[in-house]
Structure formats: C-alpha cells, structure tokens
C-alpha cells in the first residue's frame, strides 16, 4: 500500500488529489468495501452497537472514517462473515498490493466451491463488563470449555471475540474473571440450563 493510498483511506486526502494509478487502487478498495456491505449476511448491526461505534468515532477525530470502518471490520451482536467473503476480501487486498504501477484495472479470480469442506461462519461475541479483569466464552461449540478469550482492546469495558463456528444451534455463556457465569443480555433467545441459570441461544445459518 502506498503512502498516498494510506492517506486516502485515513481521509486525509480526496480522490482528486491522487495519481491515476493510486486512484485505481482507491476505487478498488471502495468497490470491495461496498460489495462487503451489500452482500454480507446479517450485515445490519443492532442500535446499541451503532451508538457505540459513533461514540468511538467522535472520540477519535484525527482518524479517517473509512480507516476506522475497516479496522472495525477486521476486529470485528453477532456479526456473521462467511469464509467466502473473507477470501474475496483477502484476494482483493492482495490484488491491490501486487498491481504494477501504471495499471488501471484490477482482475479478481472468480470464487470456486471447495468440495468436502464443511463451512464455518465467523460470529462476533460482545459483552459489556466494566471492571472485569478477564472474560472468556464457553458453549456447545467448545464442549463447554472456556477456551475462547475475549479482549477489551479499548479498555472501555466492551469485551469482544470473533469465533468460527459451524452452522447449527448453540447454547453459550460468558465466564467473567474465571468465577462468575453471565448470560448474554443481547441474545435473541434463552433456555434454562437445569441449574437455575439461563443459557443464551445462538442460531447460526450457513452462508449462501
């Protein structure tokens, strides 16, 4: 990625200030992001997450909106991203990096199905736990081992993790500080666990 393209993605310069080759790279990025936004399943975030993102944007005035959006996508509730979409994004990124100077077109390979490979869907889990020292995740998809660790990257009490799971219906809970089990307050459904608690229920559909 060139310095000019990096400044464009950060919102420091407009497309008019780019060279022809760099503008082609920028347009390829714009098409890739727009394709992701229009084709990714379950791409609409809940209202509370939108408010959180807008608050973070207002708190970081020196960074470009497009760059922050790309960062949020990479550190991606649940928000589901299919492996096919991830592969296309990676292919587009590689094509832009390898595009020779002076070229104005980007040719992307057509996606091909992989026979015998069971699909997975990436699900983003989120828990607000201000003051927590650690948050982990356990559920049917991990045989109820709290092996998935969430991260509070901004140190604002919002813990997140993106987990690959196969299509199906799963129960899960969060484990805070290694001792306190908490259900997901934003889950779509719940079910009793037989011990007086409620497990959150997540239904993951296969990506089309």
* pLDDT value of position 124: 92
Handedness of CA 149, 154, 155, 159 (dihedral sign): negative
Asked whether residue 110 is assigned to any structural domain, the reply reads no
Residues 6 or more apart from 203 whose CB is under 8 A from it? 168, 169, 170, 188, 189
| Alpha carbon of residue 54 to chain centroid | 16
The model's pLDDT over 168-191, given as tens digits with 9 standing for 90+, comes to 999 999 999 999 999 999 998 999
* pLDDT value of position 200: 94
Mean pLDDT for 196-207 is 85
* pLDDT value of position 138: 94
Residues 6 or more apart from 121 whose CB is under 8 A from it? 80, 81, 82, 83, 164, 165, 166, 167, 204, 205, 206, 207
Residues 11 and 56 in one domain: yes
Is a pLDDT exceeding 80 seen at residue 76? no
Mean pLDDT for 145-169 is 93
Distance in angstroms between the alpha carbons of the first and the last residue of the chain: 31
The model's pLDDT over 16-69, given as tens digits with 9 standing for 90+, comes to 777 877 777 778 777 776 665 565 555 455 666 666 666 666 665 555 555 555
* pLDDT value of position 45: 56
Instruction: Report the percentage of the chain scoring pLDDT > 70.
Output: 53
Residues 143 and 187 in one domain: yes
Total structural domains in the chain?
A: 2
Residues 6 or more apart from 180 whose CB is under 8 A from it? none
Residues 11 and 64 in one domain: yes
187 vs 15, 54, 78, 112, CA distance in Å?
A: 41, 22, 9, 34
Residues 132 and 57 in one domain: no
The model's pLDDT over 104-151, given as tens digits with 9 standing for 90+, comes to 334 444 444 455 566 888 999 999 999 999 999 999 999 999 999 999
Asked whether residue 109 is assigned to any structural domain, the reply reads no
DSSP label at 15? G
Q: Which helix (H) or strand (E) holds 173?
A: strand 168-176
* pLDDT value of position 188: 87
Which range of residues forms the domain containing residue 149? Answer: 121-204
Q: Angle at Cα 114 formed by Cα 111 and Cα 119, nearest 5°? A: 100
Residues 152 and 72 in one domain: no
Residues 10 and 94 in one domain: yes
pTM for this model (two decimals): 0.47
């Amino acid at each position: 990625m060139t310095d000019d393209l990096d400044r464009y993605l950060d919102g420091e310069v407009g497309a008019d200030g780019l060279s022809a080759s760099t503008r082609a790279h920028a347009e390829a990025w714009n098409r890739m992001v727009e394709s992701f936004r229009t084709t990714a399943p379950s791409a609409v975030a809940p209202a509370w997450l939108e408010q959180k993102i807008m608050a973070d944007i207002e708190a970081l005035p020196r960074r470009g909106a497009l760059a922050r959006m790309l960062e949020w996508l990479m550190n991606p509730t649940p928000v589901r991203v299919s492996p096919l979409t991830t592969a296309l994004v990676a292919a587009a990124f590689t094509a832009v990096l390898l595009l020779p100077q002076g070229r104005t077109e980007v040719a992307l390979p057509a996606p091909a199905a992989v026979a015998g490979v069971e699909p997975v869907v990436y699900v983003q889990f989120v828990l607000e736990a201000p003051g927590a020292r650690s948050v982990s995740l356990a559920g049917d998809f991990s045989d109820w081992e709290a092996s998935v660790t969430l991260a509070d990257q901004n140190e604002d009490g919002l813990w997140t993790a993106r987990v690959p799971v196969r299509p199906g219906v799963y129960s899960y809970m969060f484990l805070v500080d290694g001792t306190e089990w908490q259900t997901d307050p934003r889950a779509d459904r719940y079910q009793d666990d037989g011990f007086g608690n409620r497990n959150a229920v997540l239904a993951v559909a296969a990506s089309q």
